[in-house]
Amino acid sequence: MECCLSLYIHVPFCAGRCGYCDFYSTPVGSFSGFREIRERFVERVLADVRSELEKVDFVPTIYVGGGTPSVLGESLVPLLEGLGRLLPNEPLEFTVEANPESADEIFFRTCRSNNVTRVSLGVQTLFEKSRKAVNRLGNVASVLESLDRAERFFPHAFSVDLIAGLPFQDAAIMRSDVEQVLAFEPAHVSLYSLTLTEGTHLEKNMRKNAASFQKIDDLWLLGKDLLEQAGYTAYEVSNFSLKGKESLHNKRYWSMENWAGMGPSASGTMIDDETGTGIRLTVKSDATLYLKKTEQDVEYLDKDTLIKESLFMGFRSLDGPDEALFLKRFRKPITTLIPRTIAMWQDKGLFEQNRTALTKEGLLFLNRFLAEVFEEISG
């Protein structure tokens, strides 16, 4: 029996479409009869969860993301109640994502009464002009109202997403975004740099102005400094939390512990600790198809691939890769795989002396570090 499996559920619907988004999601307005669609979606997800959990005796974490789970409206009730019936245990962490325009009182009440432990709110910015430039729905007043609800229903148990580098955002706006959000005392903040998806309207516009890219980095660094000054620890490249409030679910991804994905475009990875090999299943990114049946792409993962992925994911976190799990799966300590890179980065003061992890400052150079890690492994 598989003992431990986390669950990720991808809700493939949003109220609109943001200019920078590359997640799989369809605006609800493009379906006729969305009420029926969302009901059928919930039935399909629950059927998949039921069959996935047949061989599982413990679900440590569950994350309902997307897309925008809060657009499920009344259908969130059967989804959460159904999960409650199917799960073999009460998860240690149960997160639901929401966007302010659909995170009303009923949404929070429904989460609260169905054992959700954590809500993640997509704020991104509180500057109206920047919101409009990337088609974020809802206005600043509605975002503030949803933050207020989050604080009331999930005190010290909600997370906020912010983006650095949006059009029209400058240092004063970045500062104001962080300060306004922190006034609601979230337990956790994810601060992302704006990522421009090639070929999008937004990308073409931003690339016209070469200075934008330096600006994105500067704004992110400013946001990071403000969060750290306020007592939030950067425990991963884009994630900050108060002590003890790190996302357990995401930590499991970074440690490459097993999880299953349900819903269009969701993927899950399961690794056999005995052989160090695994399998990745990705549900086809097609919401209409999903309502009829679940079709998945299958990828077999050999040991070398998983060693690289484990290092790639593990070094993102301030704790570094899970060394005991790595040793168990691959029968090699990390230190013997990349001794040269570790020594060089220790000399620069960017790698911990007593742990297999980058220092806080070293994390800022993660990409360069990983390039050297892979060169050493391949060389």
Which residues here bind ligand SF4, judged by CB under 6 A?
14, 17-18, 21, 23, 25, 66-68, 99, 122
CA 221 – CA 201 distance, rounded (Å): 26
In whole angstroms, the minimum distance from the beta carbon of 68 to ligand SF4 comes to 5
Contact 284, 278 (CB under 8 A): no
**CB closer to ligand SF4, 68 vs 269:** 68
Q: Report in angstroms the alpha-carbon separations of 140 from 125, 136, 157, 278, 359.
A: 8, 10, 22, 45, 37
β-strand partners of 11: 66
**CB closer to ligand SF4, 199 vs 244:** 199
**CB closer to ligand SF4, 26 vs 356:** 26
Contact 243, 229 (CB under 8 A): no
Half-sphere exposure (Cβ direction) of 318: Cα atoms closer than 13 Å: 12
**CB closer to ligand SF4, 120 vs 258:** 120
Structure tokens at 281: 């299943």
Burial of 12: CB neighbours in 10 Å, binned 0-12, 13-18, 19+: buried
Contact 127, 174 (CB under 8 A): no
In whole angstroms, the minimum distance from the beta carbon of 11 to ligand SF4 comes to 9
**CB closer to ligand SF4, 24 vs 345:** 24
Structure tokens at 52: 């996935």
Contact 101, 74 (CB under 8 A): no
Residue 137 amino acid letter: L
**CB closer to ligand SF4, 25 vs 169:** 25
In whole angstroms, the minimum distance from the beta carbon of 97 to ligand SF4 comes to 8
In whole angstroms, the minimum distance from the beta carbon of 124 to ligand SF4 comes to 8
CA 97 – CA 69 distance, rounded (Å): 6
CA-nearest of 295, 298, 308 to 375 is: 308
In whole angstroms, the minimum distance from the beta carbon of 250 to ligand SF4 comes to 17
**CB closer to ligand SF4, 122 vs 320:** 122
Task: Give the max Cα distance, the chain.
Answer: 62
**CB closer to ligand SF4, 12 vs 278:** 12
Who contacts 5 (Cβ-Cβ below 8 Å, separation ≥6)?
52, 53, 56, 58, 59, 258, 259, 260, 270
In whole angstroms, the minimum distance from the beta carbon of 238 to ligand SF4 comes to 15
**CB closer to ligand SF4, 69 vs 320:** 69
